[in-house]
């Protein structure tokens, strides 16, 4: 039996061992894996999801421990310090010497940290391993701002991790745009705008010149003369191949690093192979998992006498970064001679799409998708092939030419580039009995790499006649509507109990807030009571909206927009005493910006004592009921729109839902309250009220549809009760009422049958459920003020309550304070 030594146990090294063991039916090879890390291989692609539950075991790759396999000896914490090629042995840090018949280098890469002064100060970190994230998490406590150096793939992932830890932040990128390797100038501009809308400051075309201590934090000086005050710095400016061993062993190393390999992945020593990020093929080291897996498969085949070869890999990528879809494929930057670029750019909806085609516009060469990457799965396999339609129609806005369907893909088109799985292979697996995505993953390996092809797998299942699951996430096989009914019927009132009885695993950032919302809809106490507090997102956790500089906004409820002079004075005094920025919103509210966490209860106390309550601007709940002045003042008004708006807002306040809900009441057909752009719109008539439902503004504005006409107020309230409760019970997670109505079988007609004609016989039950909500309403701000345990959550520094956060600063603008941008004089709190 021959002996194979594998140096490194990352994703690619693990894949090599798995591939060899699967093929080596005769037991030809005995394998020793020497891992530098103290833990088995884990999914680095999903590293940012570690912050969801801080459960490292969830990231571990299947079979990473090789338990029960007598042919594999995995040694953790045993880095190799020397390779003696002539003797064909390796020496570990512990002094063990192992001989080999073949050696595979899978040492991966290490983070590149620019050699700027101060890069190694306490508070400076890299973003590469689980241990890195643990250190970042620990250092983030007590801070509100972080800086990420690097605006590429990993840099934006790191920025998202900081956001998940409750930190605002800055992204600093040397290139003129974010993700310069994946997207072009147009896509980068849209990506930057979208990222900045999330509260992150983006600095492109600059570098870090120095990092130095500044009070309790750090000061990052930039090459353009600006600076950023921060609590911590995360370097994510690229990676470099781990090739130190190769150099000392005398192997050929590429100019840019990495062991030089041929198309069999052999190095300059025929007994030594290299795979993954430590290997350089045609002068390039690939930092994606798909090329690494292809290398691993090639070596496994060659070790058993096969003739597999590695060719220039497909570096297409589809990602979701900071919640934004980003994809690139083929010749994304139009480097091919004569290439043409077809662009659809819609900054209003946040969508940028570009196709690169041949000079005669008949062949697809590549593309870039930002904001909407739904076409990636069908476009990427067509690279190098004839276009099935006019390129502009393939990326145009909805309502244009028909979308490119699965039928347009040839049978040999790759569905999964990570494992080179074709459309026909997936279809055959479906016909052979693989009737869900997990089965397809097991059978074909498609979807087990970066995961970007999973939507295509679902589409192929449907096209093959297999009905798809409506499971909320991997932890629950039930839809949101089914979970609502389970919780309502069983009386379960904790996430852990629901997970134990009806789910599996530990939950995720999809199911946790969804269940929290359902529990709140069912009147399960204060959202910060007990276990529920851990399920909330940042805004709900602090009952306030997090702003871009780490402070929060406070929005007291002003029902119908009506307010007395006395209450106006209270808001003015609170804003003055706490130095808050004030803004009158389009929803007839007054926003108070710039409050720190520890100030929130103090502000609430002043407001609650004056008769105000939470306006739920932070929650997936009823936000506002806007109104005009109605018949009391307006000469055109025919009904009391203000009185009805106040009644509606007080009736439905605090109602938690799948998404935010906005409403409006207009006192006549002139529609001054813009009721038809709301989830619930009421317009007065001479004979009563018209009720409109399912409208919204935002990225995809939609006029509400008329549900009923000329109804009296009693009937109107009953219909709104039914509509809202039916929506709360049956809508999908984060589905606005507009999308809910459009997706409903039968659409508006079906909705009218259910809540007007009572076709399902549930209207009385829906009304009773709403009545229970109205009777059980309690102000969430007051609930915190009356509970010392909840109050204890609201402090900037656990070890120094009341200490102002030194990283938060402001400047004056138009007589008010606003967050400080770079290079502007600041006004400290």
Are residues 499 and 507 in contact, defined by beta-carbon separation less than 8 angstroms?
Answer: yes
Give CA–CA dist 681/93, Å, rounded.
71
Residue 99 CA to its chain's centroid (Å): 46
Please report the pLDDT score of residue 299 as a whole number: 97
Q: What token pair was written down for 810?
A: 């402001």
Buried b or exposed e, range 385-419, using 16+ CB within 10 angstroms: eebbeebeebbbeeeeeeebebebbeeebbbbbbb
Main-chain phi, psi angles of 221, to 5 degrees: -90, 135
First-to-last C-alpha distance (Å) of the chain: 72
- Can you spell out the DSSP letters for 379-391? HGGGTTSB-SS-H
Rounded distance between C-alpha atoms, residue 607 and residue 135, angstroms:
39
Give yes or no for a contact between 734 and 658, defined as CB atoms under 8 angstroms apart: yes
**C-alpha distances in Å from residue 543, one per residue of 67, 89, 613, 618, 785:** 47, 61, 11, 6, 12
Distances (CA, A) of 114 to 129, 239, 504: 18, 11, 43
645, burial (CB in 10 Å: exposed 0-12, middle 13-18, buried 19+): buried
CA atoms within 13 A on the CB side of 689: 25
Q: Please count the other Cβ atoms lying within 10 Å of the Cβ belonging to residue 457.
A: 25
User: How many Å apart are CA 728 and CA 737, to the nearest integer?
Assistant: 10
For residue 674, which of 656, 701, 709 has the smallest C-alpha distance? 701
Output the CA–CA distances (angstroms, integers) from residue 771 to 515, 657, 725, 737, in the order listed.
22, 16, 10, 21
Chain centroid offset of residue 260 CA = 37
Q: Which residue has the tokens 């191949």?
A: 241
> Given 2.30.30.180, 3.50.50.60, 1.10.238.10, 3.30.70.1020, which CATH number is that of 2-110+241-303?
3.50.50.60
CB 406 within 8 A of CB 378: yes
pLDDT digits (tens, 9 = 90+) for 55-93: 888 889 888 889 889 999 999 999 999 999 999 999 999
CA distances from 240 to 173, 265, 283, 506 (A): 17, 19, 14, 35
Domains 2-110+241-303 and 409-467 share a fold: no
The CATH number of 113-237 is: 3.50.50.60
Ranges of each domain in the chain: 2-110+241-303, 113-237, 316-404, 409-467, 480-536, 543-619+796-819, 621-779
Say which residues have a Cβ less than 8 Å from residue 770's Cβ, sequence separation at least 6.
721, 722, 724, 725
**473: β partners:** 476
Indicate the SS3 state at residue 470: coil
Backbone angles phi, psi at 423, to 5 degrees: -60, -45
Retrieve residue 792's tokens.
């204890």
On the 0-12 / 13-18 / 19+ scale of CB atoms within 10 A, 707 is buried
| Number of CB atoms found within 10 A of residue 762's CB | 16
Q: 409-467 adopts what CATH topology?
A: Arc Repressor Mutant, subunit A (1.10.10)
| Torsion angle defined by CA atoms of residues 191, 194, 195 and 200, in that order, rounded to the nearest 10 degrees | 140
What's the token pair of residue 319? 């990602």
Report residue 160: phi and psi, to 5°: -65, -35
Region of residue 455 (phi > 0: left; psi between -120 and 50: alpha; otherwise: beta): alpha
Cα–Cα–Cα angle for 344, 345, 350, rounded to 5 degrees: 125
- Measured CA to CA, the distance from residue 355 to residue 337 in angstroms comes to 15
Length of the chain (residues):
829
Dihedral sign computed on CA atoms, order 363, 366, 370, 375: positive
Q: Are strands 227-230 and 217-222 parallel, antiparallel or unpaired?
A: antiparallel
d(CA 360, CA 582): 56
Provide the 8-state DSSP code for 57: G
Q: How would DSSP label each residue in 475-504?
A: TBSS-HHHHHHHHHHH----HHHHHHHHB-
CATH number of the domain located at residue range(s) 316-404 in this protein: 3.30.390
* Torsion angles phi and psi, residue 451, rounded to 5: 85, 0
Give the residues of the chain that fall short of pLDDT 50: 398-403, 797-800, 822-829
Q: Measured between alpha carbons, how far is 783 from 770 in angstroms, rounded to an integer?
A: 21
pTM over 0.85: no
Q: What does CATH list as the number for 543-619+796-819? A: 3.90.480.10
Token representation of residue 533: 């507090």
| 790 closest CA partner among 782, 779, 800, 798 | 782
Q: Which SS3 state, helix, strand or coil, does residue 775 take?
A: helix
Helix residue ranges, H only, 578-616: 600-609
Three-point CA angle 411, 351, 386, nearest 5°: 30
191 within 8 A of 573, measured Cβ to Cβ = no
Residue closest to 340 by CA, chosen among 296, 392, 385: 392
Integer Cα distance of 139 and 87 in angstroms: 46
* Fold type of domain 621-779: Sulfite Reductase Hemoprotein; domain 1 (3.30.413)
Write out pLDDT tens, residues 235-266: 998 889 999 999 999 999 999 899 999 999 99
DSSP 8-class letter at 59: G
């Amino acid at each position: 039996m021959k002996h194979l030594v594998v140096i490194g146990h990352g994703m690619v090294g693990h894949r090599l061992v798995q591939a060899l063991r699967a093929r080596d039916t005769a037991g030809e090879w005995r394998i020793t894996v020497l891992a530098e890390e103290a833990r088995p291989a884990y999914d680095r692609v999903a590293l940012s999801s570690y912050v969801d539950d801080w459960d490292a075991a969830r990231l571990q790759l299947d079979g990473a421990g090789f338990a029960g396999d007598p042919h594999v000896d995995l040694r953790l914490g045993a880095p190799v310090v020397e390779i003696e090629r002539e003797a064909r042995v390796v020496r570990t840090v512990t002094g063990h010497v192992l001989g080999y018949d073949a050696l595979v280098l899978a040492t991966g890469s290490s983070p590149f940290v620019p050699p700027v002064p101060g890069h190694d100060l306490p508070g400076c970190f890299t973003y590469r391993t689980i241990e890195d994230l643990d250190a970042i998490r620990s250092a983030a406590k007590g801070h509100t701002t972080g800086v990420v150096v690097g605006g590429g793939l990993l840099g934006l992932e790191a920025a998202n991790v900081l956001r998940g830890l409750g930190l605002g932040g800055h992204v600093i990128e040397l290139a003129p745009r974010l993700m310069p390797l994946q997207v072009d100038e147009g896509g980068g501009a849209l990506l930057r705008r979208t990222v900045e809308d999330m509260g992150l400051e983006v600095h492109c075309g600059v570098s870090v010149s120095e990092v130095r201590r500044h009070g309790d934090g750090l000061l990052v000086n930039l090459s353009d003369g600006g600076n950023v005050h921060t609590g911590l710095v995360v370097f994510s400016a690229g990676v470099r191949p781990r090739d130190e061993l190769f150099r000392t062993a005398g192997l050929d190393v590429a100019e840019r690093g990495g062991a030089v390999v041929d198309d069999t992945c052999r190095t300059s020593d025929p007994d030594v192979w290299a795979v993954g990020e430590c290997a350089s093929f045609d002068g390039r080291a690939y930092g994606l998992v798909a090329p690494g897996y292809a290398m691993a498969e090639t070596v496994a085949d060659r070790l058993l006498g096969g003739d597999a070869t590695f060719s220039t890999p497909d570096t297409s990528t589809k990602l979701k970064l900071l919640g934004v879809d980003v994809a690139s494929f083929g010749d994304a930057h139009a480097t091919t001679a004569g290439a043409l670029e077809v662009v659809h750019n819609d900054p209003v909806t946040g969508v940028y799409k570009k196709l690169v085609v041949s000079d005669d516009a008949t062949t697809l060469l590549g593309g870039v998708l930002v904001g909407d990457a739904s076409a990636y799965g069908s476009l990427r396999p067509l690279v190098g092939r004839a276009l099935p339609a006019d390129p502009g129609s393939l990326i145009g806005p909805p309502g244009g030419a028909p979308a490119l369907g699965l039928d347009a893909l040839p049978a040999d088109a790759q569905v999964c580039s990570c494992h080179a799985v074709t459309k026909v292979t997936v279809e055959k697996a479906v016909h052979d009995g693989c009737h869900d995505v997990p089965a397809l993953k097991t059978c074909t390996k498609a979807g087990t790499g970066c995961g970007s092809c999973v939507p295509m797998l679902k589409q192929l299942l449907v096209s093959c006649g297999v009905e798809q699951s409506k499971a909320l996430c991997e932890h629950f096989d039930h839809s949101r509507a089914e979970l609502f009914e389970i919780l309502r019927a069983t009386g379960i009132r904790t996430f852990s109990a629901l997970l134990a009885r009806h789910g599996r695993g530990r939950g995720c950032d999809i199911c946790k807030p969804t269940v929290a919302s359902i529990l709140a809809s069912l009147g399960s106490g204060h959202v910060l009571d007990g276990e529920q507090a851990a399920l909330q997102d940042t805004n709900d956790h602090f009952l306030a909206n997090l702003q871009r500089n780490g402070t929060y906004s406070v929005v007291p409820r002003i029902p119908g927009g009506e307010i007395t002079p006395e209450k106006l004075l209270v808001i003015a005094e609170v804003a003055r005493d706490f130095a808050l920025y004030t803004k009158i919103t389009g929803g007839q509210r007054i926003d108070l910006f710039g409050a720190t966490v520890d100030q929130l209860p103090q502000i609430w106390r002043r407001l609650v004592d004056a008769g105000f309550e939470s306006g739920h601007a932070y929650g997936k709940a009823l936000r506002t009921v806007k109104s005009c002045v109605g018949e009391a003042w307006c000469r055109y008004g025919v009904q009391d729109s203000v009185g009805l708006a106040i009644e509606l807002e007080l009736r439905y306040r605090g109602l938690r839902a799948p998404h935010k809900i906005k409403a409006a009441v207009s006192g006549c057909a002139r529609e001054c309250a813009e009721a038809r752009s709301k989830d619930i719109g009421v317009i007065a008539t001479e004979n009563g009220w018209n009720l409109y439902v399912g409208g919204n503004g935002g990225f995809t504005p939609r006029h509400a549809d008329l549900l009923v006409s000329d109804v009296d107020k009693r009937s109107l309230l009953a219909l709104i009760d039914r509509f809202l409760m039916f929506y709360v019970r049956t809508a999908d997670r984060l589905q606005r009422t507009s999308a809910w109505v459009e997706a409903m079988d039968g659409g508006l007609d079906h909705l009218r049958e259910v809540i007007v004609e009572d076709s399902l016989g549930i209207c009385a039950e829906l009304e009773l459920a709403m009545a229970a909500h109205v009777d059980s309403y309690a102000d969430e701000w007051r609930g915190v003020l009356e509970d010392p345990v909840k109050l204890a959550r609201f402090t900037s520094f656990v070890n120094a309550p009341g200490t102002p956060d030194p990283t938060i600063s402001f400047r004056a603008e138009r007589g008010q304070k606003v967050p400080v941008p770079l290079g502007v004089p600041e006004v400290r709190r």
